[in-house]
Amino acid sequence: MVTCGGSRTSLSLRFAYHSDHFRSTMSDSIVLFGPPGAGKGTQASRISSLTGKPQVSTGDMLRAAVASGSELGSEAKGYMEAGLLVPDEVIIGLISERLQEPDAVSGLLLDGYPRTIAQAEALAEVEGVSAVISIEVPDEAVVERIVGRRMDPETGMIYHIRFNPPPTEISARVVQRKDDTEDTVRNRLSAYYEQTAPLADWYEQRGVLVRIDGNRSIEEVGSAIEVVIASLGD
């Protein structure tokens, strides 16, 4: 009986705590949400300079860990190459540490995190979220965008073999991400629908989800996002 009463109290405290974390302040984080290939990374640097919030991509952090051969990297590598999500306990720890860094004090611009309800719950325990910008793109456009995506390893610039071809002088050195093949993209899309897409409703219920049509030019999507960012200051 005592235990039951105790847990009810802590549940309501938890709720109060959570709702505080969905009341928008300028120091809260912003989440970029959407399927792989939606353009989250492309839009992130612009939003980061608009808001001053450092861009944090869990995909980039994991790729750096794989390249460095760290323990985290060897744990994540197999999941990433198969197009599966890395387990929550690995990724939650990574972001919790990142949030302790001094530059996280005004919030982060999160690209690719959270991707499960468990990750969103863990984030809500430690950080406020003022907006979740959902960039929406149909599946076939996602596949076409990702399979044609190439990166210049020297500058980090992203190109597309059809929509934004690399200049001739660098076309010989561009590389394709290991998980950007058609089979892996289909797995990444399945993981998105099964584990990540339900988060849109979760955030919608908390009043912070904003949907943007991502099936437009980079500039048009960018302008739509700017309107959202400007409204956060109101």
Q: Which two tokens stand for residue 191?
A: 């993981």
- 36 in contact with ligand AMP (CB under 6 A): yes
**Residues numbered 168-187 forming contacts with ligand AMP, rule: CB under 6 A:** 179
Residue carrying structure tokens 């995909």:
59
The only residue of 39, 107, 112, 214 in contact with ligand AMP, by rule CB under 6 A: 112
- 225 in contact with ligand AMP (CB under 6 A): no
In sequence order, which ranges of 128-175 are alpha helices (DSSP H)?
139-147, 168-171
- 86 in contact with ligand AMP (CB under 6 A): yes
The only residue of 34, 35, 51, 113 in contact with ligand AMP, by rule CB under 6 A: 113
CA separation, residue 144 to residues 31, 137, 165, 169 (Å):
24, 11, 14, 24
- Looking only at Cα atoms, what is the longest distance across the chain? 74
- 123 in contact with ligand AMP (CB under 6 A): no
**Residues numbered 2-31 forming contacts with ligand AMP, rule: CB under 6 A:** none
DSSP-based three-state secondary structure for 69: coil
- Residue showing the smallest CB distance to ligand AMP in the complex: 59
Strand partners, 150: 159
Residue 213: name the closest of 142, 133, 136, 140 by CA: 136
- 32 in contact with ligand AMP (CB under 6 A): no
Residue pair 25/128 in contact (Cβ under 8 Å)? The answer is yes
Query: Annotated catalytic residue: which of 53, 63, 115, 145?
Result: 115
Minimum CB distance to ligand AMP smaller for 79 or for 202: 79
Letters for 40-59 (x = contact with ligand AMP by CB under 6 A, - = none) are: ------------------xx
Where in the sequence numbering do the catalytic residues fall? 40, 115, 149, 177, 188
